Amino acid sequence: MKIKRIPAGIYEANCYILIDEKTKEVAVIDPGGDGEILIKEIDKLDVKVNCILLTHGHMDHTDAVQDIKDKYNVPVYINPKDKEMMSAGENVFGAIWEQKNDGTIEDGDTLKLGELIIKCIETAGHTPGGMCFLVENVVFTGDTLFQGSIGRTDFVGGSYELLIKNIKTKLMILPEDTIVLPGHGPESSIKYEKQNNPFL
């Protein structure tokens, strides 16, 4: 497994290119903007794009979805609760893309990327359908959990109580050496967050 991080869009959200090194299949996680830049970086890797995965539906994580989808003709996976918020045009949620061959993901679902297994963990709170993705010893947390912080809950559909509950019951139970790759900022680990995150 190889992971490339590309800060993208006006808020520099972390877009991750998850690569199965054996098959060269790729999942693009949270393409939040700068579609042309993302496409150039992906093409440099000489890989086959398999899908787009969204941790949630806010615009700073979804603005380049249509560009990536148009270029590689791949499905988009998002929790249906956030897809509904996007379709309704809720504030700070991104514009819905042209929907074709897409899928929805919920808690406990798994996706296959080459020989990698991606476990979908629903962590609502920042948004109603927030998701994290666990692959081997790495968890992509979107705007659920950051290094030393958590996602905002003052946007439409947010819930502080639910976010804290989901972090504690679904993420803090992971092995302490699990690497945390958040939607903004530097990486962390479950151990670091247990010991240092003031919200927990």
Reply yes or no on whether the pLDDT at 70 is more than 90: yes
pLDDT in tens, 21-49: 999 999 999 999 999 999 999 999 999 99
Whole-number pLDDT of residue 101: 85
Q: How many domains does the chain contain in total?
A: 1
Share of the chain above pLDDT 90, in %: 96
Token readout for 133 is: 């993705």
32 token code pair: 């939040």
Is residue 100 predicted with pLDDT exceeding 90?
Answer: no
- Residue 128 confidence (pLDDT): 98
Q: Please give the Cα distance from 162 to 169 (Å, whole number).
A: 10
Average pLDDT of 162-191?
A: 98
- On the CB side of 113, CA atoms within 13 Å amount to 33
Q: Which two tokens stand for residue 63?
A: 């603005």
Contact 176, 188 (CB under 8 A): no
Of 102, 59, 97, the residue nearest 79 (C-alpha): 102
Say which CATH number the domain at 153 has: 3.60.15.10
Q: Is the pLDDT of residue 99 over 90?
A: no
Q: Which domain holds residue 29?
A: 2-196
Count of alpha carbons within 13 angstroms of residue 9, beta-carbon side: 21
pLDDT for position 156: 94
- CA-to-CA distance for 117 and 47, rounded, in angstroms? 18
How far is residue 124's CA from residue 8's CA, in Å, rounded to a whole number? Answer: 23
Residue 98 has pLDDT above 90, yes or no: no
Q: Stretch 8-24: mean pLDDT, rounded?
A: 96
Q: Is pLDDT at 79 greater than 90 in this prediction?
A: yes
